[in-house]
Amino acid sequence: MEVLNLINNSSDFLHLAADYIEIASNSEIVSHLKMAASSTADVTTVIVAKSASVAEDKIFIDLDVLTYFLLFVVGFIGGMVSGFIGSGGAFVLTPAMMAFGVPGIVAVASNMMHKFPKALVASIKRAKFGQVDVKLGITIGIFAEAGVIYGKTVMTDIRAEHGNVGTDLYVSVVFIVVLAIVGTFVFRDAIKTRRRYEAGEIDESADQTPKLARWVQSVHIPGTMMRFKSIGNREVSVLFLAPIGFATGLLAASIAVGGFIGVPAMIYILGVPAIMATATELVVAFVMGLGGTLLFAHAGLVDPRLALIILAGSLFGVQIGAIGTTYVKEHFVKFVMGLIMIIALFSRLFSMPIYLSNPQIGVMDEMSSTTNTVLDILSKVTLVIALTTGAVAILIAIIRGIREHKRDTIAEIEQRKEDKMIAATTAES
C-alpha cells in the first residue's frame, strides 16, 4: 500500500510510464496521460486506460514459423480454388486469416493486396485457353472501383464505432448472407444442370443462355451499348454493367470477395458461359484488388506479411486450378463453387455467438471460455473441411482429365496404326 501511494504521488513515474507506452504504441492518448500525470492522477487509471487503448488499436498479429507455413498452405489451396472458379478464393482465405486471429478489416485489406497480382497471373494463364473477355472484365472493374471506395468507408466507420470485433461481426454477417443465397442457388443449378445433361436433355456444347440474360441482351438503349465476345459478340447496355460492377466492388471491400456477385451475374444476367465468367472475373479482381489495396494501405490496415506469404502459396495453386478448368464440364465448376460456399458458411456461423457476446457488441450475454473455445474449434474445423473439399475436387478433376486425355491419345495412335496397316495391305494387293 505504501508503494502504491508513493507511485500515485510520483509525477515523474507517471511521465515515465506514459513515455514507455508511447514507444510501444504511438497514440494521441499519450498526451492526455501526461496531462493526467502532471496532476498526479491515479497510476492505475492512467496505465489501465492506455493499455486498453493499445490492445484495441493492435491490428497486426504476431507470426511464428508454424503460422507462416499454415498461411502458405492456405494460400496454395485458395489459389487452386481461385484459378478454378475465378472468385479469388477469398471466401476461404478471409475466414482463414480470421481463424488465425486477424481482425476482419485487416483480413479483407490484406486479402485484397494478395489478390490483384494472383488474379493477374491466373487471368493471363486462362487467356491462353481463350477463356478471358478482357474488355468485359475491365469495364465491370471500372464500375467496381466505386463500390470499393464506398465499401472501405463502411468498414472503417464500423471499426471506429465498435472496434475490431465490430468488423469481425460485419464480415461474418455478410459472409453468411451472401454464401447462403449465392451458394444455394449455384449448387442447386449445378445439380439440376448435371441431371439434365446426364439424361441427354441438354447439350453443354450448345447455347444455354439463361432466360434473364436473353432479355438483357434484347434491351437496346441508344448510346449505352457495348459488344462483348464472351456473349457471342452480342451487345449489352452499360446500364446493366454499372450496378453489377458497383455491387461486386462493394462486396469485395466488405469481405474481399467480389466474385460471389460478379461470376453469377455474368452467367445469369449477361449470359456469359461459366468457364469464361470465372476467367473474366479474374480481370475484375485485378482491377478491384489494385485500387482496394491502395485505399486500405493509406488507412494503415494492410498487413504485407499476410499478403505476401499467402500470395506465395497462391501463385503455385492458381496455375493448377486454371489447368483443371480445361478438363471439366461447366456444371462441375458450378458444383464445386456452390459446395465450398455452403461449407464455408457454417464456419462463420459458428463464430457468430463469440462476436455477439463480446462486451463491445453486447447483443448476447457473455459466454464461458469453454463455450467460446468449442465454437472456435468448430469454426476452424469446418473451414478446414471447406479447404480440403475444394482441393480434392479440383485434383480429382485434373487426374480424371489427364487419364481421359491419355486414353484418347492412345486410341488415336492405335487408330493411326490400324489405318496404316490397312493402307499398306491395300497397296500390296
Rounded average pLDDT over 124-144 = 91
Query: Per-residue pLDDT tens for 372-405?
Result: 999 999 999 998 898 888 888 888 878 887 887 7
| Helix, strand or coil, per DSSP, at residue 100 | coil
195-204, 308-317, 323-332, 344-353: which range is least confident on average? 195-204
Residue 207 has pLDDT above 90, yes or no: no
Pick the more confident residue, 52 or 67: 67
Would you state the pLDDT for residue 196? 75
Q: Is 311 exposed, middle or buried (0-12, 13-18, 19+ CB in 10 A)?
A: buried
Structural element, H or E, at residue 52:
helix 43-57
Would you state the pLDDT for residue 19? 45
Rounded average pLDDT over 2-11 = 44
Query: Per-residue pLDDT tens for 38-60?
Result: 444 444 444 444 444 444 456 88
Q: How far apart are CA 278 and CA 273, in angstroms?
A: 9
| Helix, strand or coil, per DSSP, at residue 226 | strand
Q: CB–CB of 383/95 below 8 Å?
A: yes
For 343-365, b/e burial (b = at least 16 CB within 10 A) is bbbbbbbbbbebbbbbeebeeee
236 strand-pairing partners? 226
Query: Per-residue pLDDT tens for 401-419?
Result: 788 778 877 777 777 767 6
235 strand-pairing partners? 227
217: cell is: 441482351
Q: Is 142 exposed, middle or buried (0-12, 13-18, 19+ CB in 10 A)?
A: middle
Domain segments of the chain as ranges? 2-51, 61-201+238-404
Rounded average pLDDT over 107-114 = 90
| Helix, strand or coil, per DSSP, at residue 236 | strand
Q: Which amino acid is at 129?
A: F
pTM across the whole model: 0.73
| Helix, strand or coil, per DSSP, at residue 216 | helix
Q: Which amino acid is at 159?
A: R
Would you state the pLDDT for residue 57? 52
Q: Quote the distance between the C-alpha of residue 274 and its chain's center.
A: 19
Rounded average pLDDT over 77-94 = 73
* Cα-based distances in Å from 390 to 152, 172, 185, 344, 378: 29, 20, 18, 11, 19
25-29, 220-224, 272-276: which range is least confident on average? 25-29
* Cα-based distances in Å from 177 to 154, 223, 342, 425: 17, 36, 11, 69
35-49, 131-145, 171-185, 375-389: which range is least confident on average? 35-49
225 strand-pairing partners? 237
